[in-house]
Structure 1
Amino acid sequence: MSLDLAYLARMAQRGAFTRVVVARAQGSVPREEGAAMLVWPDRIEGTIGGGALEYAAVEKARKGLTGIEKIPLGPAMAQCCGGAVTLAYETFDASSVARIAGDWHARPLGRTTNPPLALTRALSRARDRGETPPMLIGDWLIERVTAPATPIWIWGAGHVGRAFVSTLAPLPGLAISWADSGVERFPETTPEGVTPLIAENPADLVPLAPSNARHFILTYSHALDLELCHRLLTHGFTGLGLIGSASKWVRFRKRLGMLGHTAAQISRIACPIGDPTLGKHPQAIALGVATGLVKELTAAQAATERGTRAG
Structure 2
Amino acid sequence: MKNWIERLSEFKSKRQPVALVTVTKCLGSAPCVVSSRMIVTEDKSIYGTIGGGKLEFKAIDEAITALKENRIIESSYTLGPEFEQCCGGKVEFIIEPMNLSPELFLFGAGHIGTEIAKLLVDTPFKVKLIDSREGWFSEIDVDESIIKCQVKVTDFKTFSDAVTWGNNCYVLVLTHNHAIDFDIIAMALENQTKFLGLIGSKTKKVRFNNMLIKEMNIEEGMSNVICPIGLPIGGDTPKEIAISVVAQLLQVHYQPVTK
**Which of 118, 125, 134 is the equivalent residue of 1:166?**
118
Q: Assess, with a 3 A threshold, how the Cα gap between structure 1 residues 186 and 297 changes in structure 2: closer, same or farther.
A: farther
Counterpart of 1:227 (choices 155, 172, 183) is: 183
Quick one: which of 251, 255, 258 aligns to 2:214? 258
Q: How does 1:139-178 map to 2 (within 5 A)?
A: 144-172=96-124, 174-178=125-129
- TM-superposition CA deviations, 1:275-295 (whole Å, max 9, x none): 243222112212112112112
Question: SS at 1:228's partner residue?
Answer: helix
The yes-or-no answer on 1:103 pairing with 2:12 is no
- Find the residue that maps to 1:206 and give its secondary structure: helix
Return the letter of the residue paired with 1:260: M
**TM-score, normalising length from structure 1?**
0.52
Secondary structure, counterpart of 1:283 in structure 2:
helix
For 1:201-280, list aligned pairs within 5 A. 201=153, 203-208=156-161, 209-212=163-166, 213-280=169-236
Amino acid at match of 1:103: A
CA distance in 2, matches of 1:206, 1:200: 8
Q: Secondary structure at the match of 1:160?
A: helix
Output the CA distance in 2 between the equivalents of 1:226 and 1:238. 19
Contact 2:137 2:148 in 1 (8 A): no
Cα distance in 2, alignment partners of residues 223 and 99 from structure 1:
40
Indicate whether 1:127 and 2:81 are aligned.
no
Deviation at 1:222, TM superposition (A): 1.3
User: 1:260 is paired with a residue of what secondary structure?
Assistant: coil
1:274·1:285 contact (CA, 8 Å) conserved in 2? yes
Matching residue of 2:254:
298
Change in Cα spacing, 1:241 to 1:117, as seen in structure 2 (3 Å) is same
Structure 1 stretches of at least 4 aligned residues deviating more than 6 Å after TM superposition = 99-102, 121-126
Q: 1:257 Cα shift?
A: 2.1
Deviations 1:256-289 (A, max 9, x none): 2232233424311111111243222112212112
- Cα deviation, 1:179-219, whole Å, max 9, x if unaligned, reads 10233246543323322111231844332122212210011
Tell me which residue corresponds to 1:138. none
Distance 2:35 2:130 in 1: 48
Structure 1: give runs of 5+ residues left out of the alignment.
1-94, 108-114, 135-141
Correspondence for 2:90:
none
- Aligned mates of 1:277, 1:290 — CA distance in 2: 12
- Per-residue CA deviation, residues 96-126 of structure 1 (Å, 9 max, x unaligned), is x95999734769xxxxxxx753694998778
Q: Give the structure-2-normalised TM-score.
A: 0.61
2-side partners of 1:186 and 1:290: how far apart? 25
Matched residue SS, 1:287? helix
Which runs of 5 or more structure 2 residues have no equivalent in the other structure? Answer: 1-5, 13-17, 28-32, 38-49, 63-71, 76-93
> Once the two structures are aligned, what percentage of the paired residues are identical?
21
